Amino acid sequence: MKAKAETATSASRIVQLSEAVAARIAAGEVIERPASIVKELVENAIDAAATRIEITVGGGGLDLIRVSDDGEGIDPEQIELAFSRHATSKLGPAADVMAIGSLGFRGEALPSIAAVADVELVSRQRREQGGAAITYRYGQLARRGARASPPGTTVTVRWLFAHQPARLKFLRSRAAEYQQIAAVVEHYAIARPAIAFGLVIDGRSALSTSGNGDERQVLAAVYGADVARQLMPVTPHEDRAIAVRGWIAPPHLSRSNRQALSLFINGRWVQNRRLLFALGDAFQGLLPRGRHPIAVVIVQIPLEEVDVNVHPTKAEVRLRDEGRVFGALQRALRATLTEHSPAVVFEAGPGTAPPVVAGGALWAPPARLIGGSPASTLSAQVEDTAIEATTPATESAPRPARERLPLLRVLGQMGNTYLVCEGPDGMYLLDQHTAHERVIFDRLLARGEASPDVQALLVPVTVELSAPRRAALDDIAAELAVTGWQIDQLDAGALLVRALPAGLVGTDPAQTLEDFLDALVNETTMLSERRAKSLATIACHSAVRSGQTMGLDEMRALVEQLEASTEPMACPHGRPTIVHLPVELLDRQFGRSWR
């Protein structure tokens, strides 16, 4: 009993953590993934007044990350001090932490990286004849000495998280990690067009900028020349020391996620939920549901109005008057959209004559009418699905959906979006797009490994992709081929689309391919999950759109097919297909207490 008491007393004593343990705990906040290291090292290079920054990564960023710059370099006498926690050259003893102009200031990056990887730093100041080198291995100093090197600093990181298998487990595929790394480099290339950036992934150039200060050239390197050509400069807006500028794309150039929404405050790429909402809200009514704009917005405000000391990653900031910044941002974006608003937005599809821009505006037309394909093709879409749904194999399959979706009688269509149906216990509203998406997905999934339906393009389409999408394409080429894509890679990163899944006929191949890459690149490496994601994307693009008029026979066919589904309540992306309004609810709304 005495031994147990002594053990308990010893366990409850307060002790000072060792430097190695404290460093590893702190590193868990600063270094979440390979992209975190790239971000910290690129920010250090920018703060060191670099004019050229080269980033090289391999093995998903786990095997190799090397960041080289031509900046000021580190004094040889202080190279070891640089790896001490909270040691920095960016703040003086009496510095005001509420008015920080540098990207880094906490003095945590290098010691945090050294705690979870093998790190070598080589640096030389211009006034010195030679450089100095130092190596840390998982928090322990390995060696230090002189090294010949050009002016600037090179940090090489190898075998990241090799001693932390739990952290490795939660990383995604190589393609997903590369996309995160490319996003970091792209954003800082946009924010600092006067710095030449180079990104090499597995020996291939993924991004290269000239550093000549031309923002549109940087945007062309990031988004592709076609998108950059159509980007509209944000109408400059100033409101009591708040200045807003940037670039936005016309609404027909959109994305399936928010990754193309970029916000910079005082040159820092930041995440602020309310301001990012303001970016998207400015496009309200101009984009179809589920689409997000391409926007690069640069805000300059007094340093004392921004608190960047919120989180070790420095990605989140707090603003003293967030509402005023929100209003200035929205006014600038809406003024730009109003100034460049189009007279007509229409295009027949790939292979047609170049779009005519009305009234001198910078708009280019969308790939198809907003709201869906022409009504004349709708009947064929539903009928094609119905033929597949009534094959003998489907008829003999079990139909457990009867337990969850009752037989419904179609009454009509509301708002060209919802089907109004009567069931045995009330009224049912079906979302025609998500319902049709579920039906098509089930049909594609049932085909298994059978050859996909492929539609060859009469005139192949050339597609330019952004750097992370080009880098990710090799990793998911097999999944694209299985679903029906036929793509050739050309020089300079361009692609030639020769064929696409038959269900995507009439869509814009470039936009649809980007949606596929967005859907697949962040998935796990399990082939079955990635294939399901691919089929879900095809189903989404193939399904009846909101705003399309449906005939009574078409509505009945769609309802019957949904009744045959084993999961009729949601589309493959998780959105509901049906809303039930029970008779009891209707009775209460009408004040009826008897029946």
| Nearest of 73, 80, 51 to residue 131 by alpha carbon | 73
Query: Are the C-beta atoms of 299 and 353 separated by less than 8 Å?
Result: no
Query: Are the C-beta atoms of 72 and 56 separated by less than 8 Å?
Result: no
Backbone φ, ψ for residue 144 (5° rounding): -150, 140
| Cα–Cα distance measured from residue 472 to residue 179, given in angstroms and rounded to the nearest whole number | 7
Domain ranges of the chain: 19-211, 224-360, 377-581
| Nearest of 321, 270, 304 to residue 103 by alpha carbon | 270
Burial class (CB in 10 A: 0-12, 13-18, 19+), 583: middle
Say if 19-211 and 377-581 have the same CATH topology.
Answer: no
| Cα–Cα distance measured from residue 488 to residue 498, given in angstroms and rounded to the nearest whole number | 8
Instruction: Render each residue's pLDDT in the chain as its tens digit; 595 residues.
Output: 555 554 444 457 887 766 666 666 655 556 889 999 999 999 999 999 999 999 999 999 999 999 999 999 999 999 999 898 777 766 655 455 565 767 766 667 898 899 899 999 999 999 998 999 999 999 899 999 999 999 999 999 999 998 888 888 888 788 889 989 999 999 999 999 999 999 999 998 999 999 999 999 999 999 888 889 999 999 887 777 889 999 999 888 888 788 888 999 888 888 877 888 878 778 876 777 678 889 999 999 988 888 776 655 556 777 878 888 888 888 888 888 877 754 333 333 444 333 333 333 333 333 332 333 333 344 444 544 443 433 333 333 443 433 467 889 999 999 999 999 998 888 999 999 999 999 988 888 887 656 677 878 888 888 877 666 666 676 677 777 777 788 887 765 678 888 888 767 767 777 777 777 776 665 444 455 566 777 787 888 888 888 899 999 999 999 999 988 878 888 887 778 888 888 888 888 888 776 5
Full DSSP string of 193-246:
TTSEEEEEETTEEEEE---SS-HHHHHHHHH-HHHHHH-EEPPPEEETTEEEEE
Query: Are the C-beta atoms of 84 and 106 separated by less than 8 Å?
Result: no
Q: What is the 3-state secondary structure (H, E, C) of 168-195?
A: HHCCCCHHHHHHHHHHHHHHHHHHCCCC
Q: Going edge to edge, which strands form the sheet with 495-501?
A: 454-463, 495-501, 486-489
Query: Are the C-beta atoms of 183 and 468 separated by less than 8 Å?
Result: yes
Q: Could you tell me which CATH number the domain at 19-211 has? A: 3.30.565.10
**Would you tell me which CATH number, out of the four given (3.40.50.300, 3.40.50.10140, 3.30.70.20, 3.30.230.10), belongs to the domain 224-360?**
3.30.230.10
Query: Are the C-beta atoms of 540 and 573 separated by less than 8 Å?
Result: yes
Reported CATH class of domain 377-581: alpha beta
What is the pTM (predicted TM-score) of this model?
Answer: 0.63
